[in-house]
Amino acid sequence: MQIGELAKKSGCDTETIRYYEREGLLPAPARTASGYRRYEPPHLEQLAFIRHCRSLDMSLADIRRLQDYHLHPSAAPCDDINALLDAQLGRIQQQIASLQRLEQQLLSLRARCDAPHTVADCGILKTLEHAASGDGCACHADSDQP
């Protein structure tokens, strides 16, 4: 199949497919006599693997490592794979904590305008304006961030 068909079957943009090839995540396909890329079913399977890993927010480096384990299995325990997933879980937990802090900051900011006002009297805009001029910001009062 050509790249357009692979893109359609995989739901992946053709530029992304080319990018994965350049990054070594997707093996280079054979070329036709006219120079077109010729993909085979294993390319589609590998692309599905990559896309699934990306849906789990895994980095390209981690995907490369997982692909290597998949392509070169051994009798060794999968401790490295477990460690890779544990590290990913740690990153996700940090992101969750960061998003929860952001949520609290936005809720604090939203509380500055809890009744109908005109834009001229909007507590949210006034707080943002004061923060932009260097004053303290109510939404960042409990955090280390500016």
Give mean pLDDT, residues 15-26: 95
- Which of the four pLDDT bands, split at 50, 70 and 90, describes residue 61? very high
First to last CA, the chain: 52
Examine the pLDDT at 137 and tell me if it is beyond 60. yes
**Architecture of the domain delimited by 3-69:** Orthogonal Bundle (1.10)
pTM for the predicted model, two decimal places:
0.76
Examine the pLDDT at 28 and tell me if it is beyond 60. yes
Domain ranges of the chain: 3-69, 79-140
Among 129, 130, 124, 100, smallest CA distance to 111 is for 124
